[in-house]
């Protein structure tokens, strides 16, 4: 009941997209949806936001490693890498992705007891 109310309240804010997905991945999503009595959309929503956070953190770490590598020491490459890092960090701030850590912590985790 609560899931239906929440879904209806968020419908106006959602945009429909088309996405080609591997059949096996879709089977996993459908199975997880069935186990949790959720919809595909709810499962995908719960996966995407943390996935974006993980991806941006990963990119920043990789670019910082590349910035130290000999093959990327050319001034123009260094400038591009620094811009990528800065732009991605600004993206994280804009969308408050760093705040997601606090949101996603379990209320029963040892750090919260």
* Per-residue pLDDT tens over the stretch 66-110: 999 999 999 999 999 999 999 999 999 999 988 877 566 544 444
Residue burial 56-83, b: 16+ Cβ < 10 Å; e: rest = beeebeebeeebeeeeeeeeeeeeebee
Question: How many separate domains does the chain show?
Answer: 1
Assess if residue 49 is contained within a domain: yes
Look at the pTM and tell me if it is higher than 0.95: no
The answer to whether position 3 is within a domain reads no
pLDDT tens figures, 31-74: 999 999 999 999 999 999 899 999 999 999 999 999 999 999 99
The predicted structure's pLDDT at residue 10: 66
Residue 12 lies in a domain: no
- Secondary structure (3-state) at 108: coil
15 backbone dihedrals φ, ψ, rounded to 5°? -120, 140
pLDDT of residue 111: 43
Distance CA 27, CA 35 (A): 12
pLDDT at 36: 97
């Amino acid at each position: 009941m609560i899931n239906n109310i929440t879904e209806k309240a968020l419908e106006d804010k959602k945009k429909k997209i088309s996405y080609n997905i591997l059949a096996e991945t879709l089977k996993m999503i459908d199975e997880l949806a069935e186990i949790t009595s959720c919809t595909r959309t709810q499962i995908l929503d719960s996966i995407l936001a943390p996935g974006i956070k993980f991806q941006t953190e990963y990119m920043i770490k990789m670019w910082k490693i590349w910035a130290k590598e000999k093959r990327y020491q050319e001034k123009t490459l260094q400038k591009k890498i620094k811009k990528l890092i800065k732009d991605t960090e600004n993206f994280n701030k804009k969308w408050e992705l760093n705040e997601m850590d606090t949101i996603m912590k379990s209320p029963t985790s040892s750090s919260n007891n």
